[in-house]
Structure 1
Amino acid sequence: MPVNVINDSNGLPKVILTEPGGSSAEVLLYGGQVVSWKNDRREELLFMSTKAILRPPKAIRGGIPICFPQFGNFGSLEQHGFARNRLWAIDTSPSPLSPTNSMTTLDLILKSTEEDSKTWPHCFELRLRVSLGPGKLTLIPRVRNTDSKPFSFTFALHNYLSVSDISEVRVEGLETLDYFDNLQQKERFTEQADAITFDGEVDRVYLSTPTKIAIIDHEKKRTFELRKEGLPDAVVWNSWDKKAKALPDFGDEDYKYMLCADSAAIENPIVLKPCEEWRGRQELSTVSSSYFSGQLDPFKVLHG
């Protein structure tokens, strides 16, 4: 199916994906970034900052930024690496990925440049498949080493999810796991709570996480299901009020309506030899939640 590229109101090229059930997604070529995902009722499922800067060379705060070849400040590069600040291209080369006949699909590619090699001296090809289906958004990133020597990298799909009220949200599936606390110099702790809830700033990298995580929005009676492969870690972040006011591209009250729940590979960097390729996979979907005594049965969410 031919891809229709249009320019948004800021002049940035983007692709709009739709599927027969009525859901849609918008993907900017700048950053290879999904900036909108709406369900069949036209409800926006991704968060976008009210002060997001939608012009190069700034990163866009919202949607699903691609963090490569570094997540956060876990390395010597700029925050979250450079892939989210580059113009990607539509990938027309044959793909080894299975056809997605029931989904609308877009394939993107980012190749290394001489400019990037000044700060990260490696040759690579980063591909991203974005597939939209009924109630489901799937991202498949692939990194190929086109260099003559090995390299390593960290990676994340930085999912800004739209929620009704962060104080009414809980994350299930990360209990008892170890995490790095970025608010305490990356010190390692073990999660003691039976679910993650929010009454202040949270910035954690959970390690060796399960393939399925649930983000339960009590007020909207909606649950995001995050399924992932090849991305063993998970990041949970909310800025809360003080950090929100300190960020120039973040509205003072925006923190109430968002939660970042990321699929990531951070603790153990991915190592690729020449000609080797790494592949990850993330599937975001939503389900209606029913409640008993105000809580969703976590077993049904995670194992149902």
Structure 2
Amino acid sequence: MSDLQARPEVFQNQPCLRLHHANGDAVLVALHGAHVLSWTSGGVERLYLSPEAVFDGATAIRGGVPVCFPQFNMRGPLPKHGFARTSAWTASGSGEDWLELQLHSSPATLALWPHAFSATLRIDLAPGALELGFTVQNTGAQPLDFALALHTYLRVQDLPGLDLRGLAGQPYWDDVAQTDRLETDVVIFEGEVDRVYQAAAEPLTLVDGPVQLRIDQSPELAETVVWNPGPTKCAAIADMPFDGFKHMVCVEAAHVNTPVTLAAGAEWTGWQRLIVVTPD
């Protein structure tokens, strides 16, 4: 990794890379799972990483931005959320404000999912902004189907006062109530929230008291997943503190309701962009 401009670092005994922007913003990424662990902007941590997260190089890390690929949740025969978040990725390049990591099919992945592929996670850092781009190449001779979610855990200060704007009018699957619904207003976080929305055409805004975060995603990602476990479910999650639900909300750029079908030799890219909104 001598040609990388990102700085190697060890965090919780795991090899990582830290990317610094000239303005002081920074991002920390673990090679295990290509997992973004931290994004600081304006001296403030913007992502939630569970203090109970497991860092053993095999277990999925709770918090940050897990990459759910090629399966979402338990919607298929693979381990929950697929294997990308528990695989060893390789840093393939970086510059002053970007970093790329790659994962290729291997005997281990082929034993679970019989498709040849190459996946790239690109991280772009700008003042007050973080963009995550995910590219899949089908390197095999047959079409392949996959799902993807960039499972972004956002750190919040005031869950009771939190709302997510921009999804009014969008249909969604409510996994708690096990029914289809239509969003009529802002998303309020009371109790467990677990929803798969049809993505809105315009960016969303997460309002956390005086703090606002603009959340955008590419048209290739057809859904937005919104999740907070609430107090009861959070207490049953081994790698979350009992009050962890008060400090996080997941707003995920996803394509999970129907699979992406990728022809042999074809390539697909989707992205999520987070921008800190500075008060006037």
Maintained 8 Å contact 2:6/2:20: no
* Equivalence for 1:226: 215
| Post-superposition CA distance 1:41-68 (Å, at most 9, x none) | x210000112111222110011111010
Give me the whole-angstrom Cα distance separating, in 1, the residues matched to 2:238 and 2:127: 36
* Equivalence for 1:206: 197
Maintained 8 Å contact 1:172/1:215: yes
Match of residue 246, structure 1, among 224, 236, 244: 236
How many angstroms does 1:10 deviate by? Answer: 2.7
Structure 1 residue 191 corresponds to structure 2 residue 183: yes
Maintained 8 Å contact 2:148/2:255: yes
Give me the whole-angstrom Cα distance separating, in 1, the residues matched to 2:137 and 2:41: 33
* Equivalence for 2:129: 136
Give me the whole-angstrom Cα distance separating, in 1, the residues matched to 2:206 and 2:155: 11
Give me the whole-angstrom Cα distance separating, in 2, the residues matched to 1:59 and 1:66: 10
Q: For residues 277 and 211 of structure 1, do their structure 2 counterparts lie closer, same or farther at Cα, with a shift above 3 Å needed?
A: farther
Maintained 8 Å contact 1:107/1:128: yes
* Equivalence for 2:253: 263
Relative to total residues, which structure has the larger strand share, 1 or 2?
Answer: 2
Structure 1 residue 16 corresponds to structure 2 residue 18: yes
How many angstroms does 1:211 deviate by? Answer: 4.1
SS of 1:118's partner is helix
How many angstroms does 1:232 deviate by? Answer: 1.7
Maintained 8 Å contact 2:7/2:19: no
Maintained 8 Å contact 2:98/2:124: yes
Maintained 8 Å contact 1:5/1:15: yes
* Equivalence for 2:275: 285
* Equivalence for 1:298: none
How many angstroms does 1:166 deviate by? Answer: 1.3
Maintained 8 Å contact 1:3/1:15: no
Maintained 8 Å contact 2:6/2:99: no
The alignment's C-alpha RMSD in Å is: 1.6
Maintained 8 Å contact 1:207/1:267: no
Give me the whole-angstrom Cα distance separating, in 2, the residues matched to 1:288 and 1:240: 29
Give me the whole-angstrom Cα distance separating, in 2, the residues matched to 1:289 and 1:130: 26
Maintained 8 Å contact 2:13/2:55: no
How many angstroms does 1:208 deviate by? Answer: 3.7
* 1:107-118 → structure 2 map (5 Å cutoff): 107-118=100-111
SS of 2:176's partner is helix
Find runs of 4+ consecutive structure 1 residues off by over 2 angstroms. Answer: 1-7, 208-211
* Equivalence for 2:40: 38
* Equivalence for 2:57: 56
Maintained 8 Å contact 2:50/2:62: yes
Structure 1: where are the runs of 5+ without partners? 93-99, 291-304
* 1:138-157 → structure 2 map (5 Å cutoff): 138-157=131-150
Give the alignment's TM-score, normalised by structure 2.
Answer: 0.94
Give me the whole-angstrom Cα distance separating, in 1, the residues matched to 2:236 and 2:38: 25
Count of aligned residue pairs for this structure pair: 277
Q: For residues 208 and 19 of structure 1, do their structure 2 counterparts lie closer, same or farther at Cα, with a shift above 3 Å needed?
A: closer
